[in-house]
A and B are shown apart, each in its own frame.
Chain A
Amino acid sequence: MSAAALSAASAASGLLSAPAAVTAASPVIPDYGDASQCVQNNGLFCGDWFVQQWPVIFAPALLSHIMMTLIAVVIGFIIAFAAALYAHRMQWFAGPFGAVSAFLYTLPPLALFQLLVPITGLTLLTVEIALVAFTLMILFRATIAGLNNVSPDVRRAGVGMGLTRGQILRRIELPLAIPSIISGLRIATVLTVSIATIAAFVIDTGLGSPILKAISSPFNTQFIGAGALAVLLAFAFDGVLALLGRLLSPWTKARA
């Protein structure tokens, strides 16, 4: 095609004509190379591509997923634990807090994320508020149950030893509630790992992001890679918490 024909063609197709002073730019187009056969044919799992893209796609996604989960569980635990201690002393409080946290727990996660967007925007804050909301019921109930299940005899023995109410809580009730609290934390953490994948609808973060981005142009390795990492992460958190529970309540080992 001659230059004249070319310019005629571009004029005919109604493209933006560049100002007369500027000649049309010709970009340097890099060679992106060829993908492996597995990648080109969308094989079930392309290990070579996964390893190659680990530092670019998967490691940042995994790291942000871990941070997202930790922040939500820690803040959720602080709120639920404080509420449980208060409810333990003020029985009337357990009903309303339990009801509100149960209501939050029943909301569809995606709907809650979208409801918050107009208020707190497309930010990490939006994501964390929603994630914390989902942890409250489990953590509150686990803590309350642990505290209330301490046998009255043990409590009376404490009173007999001359312990104050605060001392009974700290030295008797809380230690005995540890197994229950830990089991609540394990459920809440695994739940948060899975719900946090939906956060990608709000901000481009966590393991949900590579999954969401591969939907419009399906690529198995990206789905399976990110999905498997989420499952492994849930297992890892669960294992670490189980171990922590063992360390904090050595007396349960004999029974376990």
Chain B
Amino acid sequence: MREFSRRALLRSGALATASLALAGCAGQDKPGPSDAITVGSKGFAESWITGELYAQALRALGLQVTLKTNVGSSEIIDQALTSGQIDLYPEYTGVIVMSLAGREELLATGAETYQVAKEFEASRGVTLLEATPFENKNAIAVTKAFADEHGLKTIDDLRGIGDFVYSTYPDNVSGGQGYEAIVREYRLPNMKLKTLSIGLNYQAIERGEIQAADVFTTDPQLLRSDLVVLEDTLNLFGFQNVAPAIRSDVLERHGSEVSDVLNRISELLTLEAIQTMNAASAVNRLDPSQVAKMFLDANDLL
């Protein structure tokens, strides 16, 4: 009798777990109908938020949307797009031109950068939809006091003000937008270098350990600190507006409703909008999905 109950227990336990496991498998990765769309995003908060905006707005159209968050860097996610693992993702125009297309020479305007990026993507069967008004790119920031003291408005103005210390992250020293390129192109032998991990430069500049810092223009910390961004008169940092890169075959399948809603989102993403959302994620610690939902709600896209 005991023998029997033990075996029954074994059998029912095994059955229960096996069916659980099978149910789990069945619930994942099933190839959806042709109206299913997979959105991807890169490895940082701004991209997670943008990916959520795309995914939730497309869901509101009644499409079946899968969101793959945190897929990886430009090269990895680009490969995921061209190999069909994802259908669209938000990309930066300058990144497409410099990293994916591998163009070395500087372009003069944001519009031209977008055009070059669009043509490059089109040559591979990818459509670049409308870009955002906001850009997220490297910039040089100084404290307001330092700017007032030396009358600084542009990076050129740093020439001849005596030695000062500039900080950037360790892997941005050589390279086209790195410390060495800035010193060379703007002729700033008086600019000394201190490398700091991303995120530590704000404390350092507030404490006066450095006078100029490499910042990202949409960083919420920039909004909350008393810093001035110097104008990049040579366009050394390029142009980095965000546009949805979507495979052309996916776009053809769905027609204009998809491109219309994605273009509408791009249009709404001003610098202030994205900075506020970045702050909601980095400061308030809201999840990207919550941040995006509130924004879409406020703008009647849900």
Contacts and interface: CB of A to CB of B under 8 A. Distances in A.
Chain A interface bracket (under 10, 10 to 19, 20 to 34, 35 or more): 35 or more
Contacts of B280: 32
Interface string A51-87: 0010011000000000100110011001000000000
A70 B284 CA distance: 34
A16 B71 contact: no
A39 B284 CA distance: 7
B44 A122 contact: no
A24 to B, nearest CB: 7
A128 B13 CA distance: 21
A175 interface: yes
A67 B287 contact: no
Interface in A191-232: 200, 203-204, 209, 212-213, 216-217, 219, 221-222
Contacts of B133: 10, 15-16, 18, 24-25
B60 to A, nearest CB: 16
Nearest to A215: B43
Contact of B70 (A14, A33, A213): A213
Interface stretch (B106-114, B204-212, B248-256): B106-114
Interface stretch (B18-26, B143-151, B179-187): B18-26
A26 B299 CA distance: 10
Given A35-B285, A56-B289, A14 B268 contact: no
A75 B21 contact: yes
Nearest to A28: B298
Contacts of B114: 16
A108 interface: no
Nearest to B83: A121
Chain B interface bracket (under 10, 10 to 19, 20 to 34, 35 or more): 35 or more
Most buried by A among B85, B284, B289, B295: B284
11 contacts: A26-B270, A27-B269, A29-B272, A40-B283, A57-B287, A71-B24, A71-B25, A74-B21, A122-B80, A209-B69, A216-B43
Contacts of A203: 68
B203 interface: no
Contacts of B109: 14
Contacts of B279: 32
B297 interface: yes
Interface in B108-155: 108-111, 114, 131, 133, 135
A217 B45 contact: yes
Contacts of A209: 69-70
Given A24-B133, A30-B294, A39-B285, A175 B110 contact: no
Contacts of B43: 216
B9 A29 contact: no
Nearest to B270: A27
Nearest to B6: A248
Contacts of B290: 56
Interface string B26-39: 00110000000000
B17 A74 contact: yes
A48 B294 CA distance: 21
B262 to A, nearest CB: 14
B241 interface: yes
Interface in B273-302: 273, 276-277, 279-280, 282-287, 289-291, 294-295, 297-299
A15 B135 contact: yes
Which 10 pairs, one residue from A and one from B, show the smallest C-beta to C-beta distance? A32-B280, A27-B268, A204-B69, A28-B298, A35-B284, A74-B21, A30-B298, A25-B267, A67-B24, A30-B294
A40 to B, nearest CB: 7
B276 A32 contact: yes
A167 interface: no
A222 B282 CA distance: 12
A125 interface: yes
A250 interface: yes
A122 B71 contact: yes
A200 B43 CA distance: 12
B284 A34 contact: yes
A78 B6 CA distance: 19
A124 interface: yes
Given A27-B270, A209-B70, A217 B282 contact: yes
